């Protein structure tokens, strides 16, 4: 075998190795979104935390830039009462072309009780909204509200009639609660009769997750 052939074999080997590692990393981010650092370290990666917490700096410097944001912050700071207008200010800010994420994010990290009330108000009045459920899941990272999260996600999955949206809800439910040890797919499986469309979707998602878990536990062959 000539040098060129050897180089080609080595290149192919390197590409294959990189593809295997990339697949493993993708599986970690998909299956372990909240503890991906620990799982990456299990693969041999070393995690270095930045000296500067850029998010904290952003949040510390964030200021309301318009009346909508001022109303929202006034509510979060106990200067206004919760109302439909306040909720609409929150929804409009999240949907804005350039939302002031740092301004709102710091209240999540503080587990602000008024923010939690606003999210629950939204879900009580607009049940099943995926964006609000995702926001509630993010809030859960800073205050353990697992039972509340389970209640709202479960009801959303039961009520949702669009099967594509149902599938998305079920996945969000699983990834939001799995780090806490809750098996959302199996809990949902018990709610739907065999041969129904929703049961078939849940059975498919369970099989897909079991296959991903099996692959994730396979050793990396170097």
Which pLDDT belongs to residue 185? 97
Whether 62 and 68 have beta carbons less than 8 Å apart is answered as no
Which pLDDT belongs to residue 26? 59
User: Which residues form the domain of 9?
Assistant: 1-49
Which pLDDT belongs to residue 53? 80
Quickly tell me which residue has 């693969």 as its tokens: 43
Contacts of residue 104, Cβ cutoff 8 Å, sequence gap at least 6? 72, 90, 93, 94
Do the domain assignments include residue 136? no
Q: 26-30: which pairs have CB atoms within 8 A and are 24 or more residues apart?
A: 27/212, 27/215, 27/216, 28/216, 30/212
Distance CA 12, CA 133 (A): 44
Q: Please tell me whether residues 30 and 73 are part of one structural domain.
A: no
Q: Which of 112, 114, 134 is nearest to 123 (CA)?
A: 134
The total number of structural domains in the chain stands at 3
Distance CA 72, CA 174 (A): 30
Do the domain assignments include residue 132? no
- Helical spans, DSSP H, in 96-129: 101-109, 113-125
CA angle 155–178–193, rounded 5-degree value: 45
Do the domain assignments include residue 214? yes
Do the domain assignments include residue 175? yes
Domain boundary, last residue among 96, 126, 156: 126
Do the domain assignments include residue 197? yes
Q: Please tell me whether residues 61 and 114 are part of one structural domain.
A: yes
Burial class of residue 220, CB neighbours in 10 A (0-12, 13-18, 19+): exposed
Q: Please tell me whether residues 74 and 18 are part of one structural domain.
A: no
Q: Please tell me whether residues 161 and 197 are part of one structural domain.
A: yes
At residue 11, what are phi and psi to the nearest 5 degrees?
-65, -45
Do the domain assignments include residue 91? yes
Q: Please tell me whether residues 25 and 70 are part of one structural domain.
A: no
Q: What is the DSSP letter of 65?
A: -
Q: Please tell me whether residues 19 and 80 are part of one structural domain.
A: no
Q: Please tell me whether residues 152 and 222 are part of one structural domain.
A: yes
Which pLDDT belongs to residue 20? 58
Which pLDDT belongs to residue 110? 95
Which pLDDT belongs to residue 103? 93
pLDDT tens, per residue, the chain with 222 residues = 554 454 554 555 455 555 555 566 556 656 666 565 666 666 665 554 554 488 888 888 889 999 999 999 999 999 999 999 999 999 999 999 889 999 999 999 999 999 999 999 999 999 999 999 999 999 999 999 999 999 999 999 999 999 999 999 999 999 999 999 999 999 999 999 999 999 999 999 999 998 888 877 776 655
Q: Please tell me whether residues 209 and 169 are part of one structural domain.
A: yes
Q: Please tell me whether residues 184 and 152 are part of one structural domain.
A: yes
Q: Please tell me whether residues 119 and 183 are part of one structural domain.
A: no
Distance CA 133, CA 157 (A): 11
Contacts of residue 107, Cβ cutoff 8 Å, sequence gap at least 6? 76, 114, 115
Which pLDDT belongs to residue 22? 59
Which pLDDT belongs to residue 51? 43
Do the domain assignments include residue 138? no
Do the domain assignments include residue 134? no
pTM of the model: 0.73
Domain boundary, last residue among 62, 93, 126: 126
Q: Please tell me whether residues 103 and 121 are part of one structural domain.
A: yes
Q: Please tell me whether residues 27 and 62 are part of one structural domain.
A: no
Distance CA 176, CA 174 (A): 6
């Amino acid at each position: 075998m000539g040098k060129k052939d050897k180089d080609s074999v080595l290149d192919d080997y390197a590409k294959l190795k990189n593809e295997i590692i990339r697949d493993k990393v993708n599986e970690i981010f998909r299956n372990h979104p909240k503890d991906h650092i620990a799982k990456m370290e299990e693969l041999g990666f070393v995690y270095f935390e930045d000296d500067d917490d850029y998010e904290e700096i952003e949040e510390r410097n964030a200021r309301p830039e318009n009346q909508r944001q001022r109303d929202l912050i006034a509510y979060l700071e106990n200067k206004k009462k919760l109302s439909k207008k306040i909720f609409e200010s929150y929804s409009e800010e999240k949907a804005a072309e350039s939302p002031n994420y740092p301004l709102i994010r710091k209240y999540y990290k503080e587990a602000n009780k008024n923010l939690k009330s606003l999210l629950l108000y939204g879900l009580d009045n607009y049940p099943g909204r995926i964006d609000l459920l995702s926001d509630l899941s993010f809030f859960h990272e800073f205050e353990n509200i697992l039972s509340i999260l389970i209640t709202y996600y479960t009801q959303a999955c039961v009520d949702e009639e669009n099967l594509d949206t149902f599938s998305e809800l079920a996945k969000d439910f699983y990834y939001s609660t799995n780090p806490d040890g809750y098996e959302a797919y199996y809990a949902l499986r018990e709610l739907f009769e065999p041969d129904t469309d929703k049961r078939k979707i849940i059975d498919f998602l369970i099989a897909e997750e079991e296959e991903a878990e099996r692959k994730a536990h396979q050793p990396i062959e170097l």
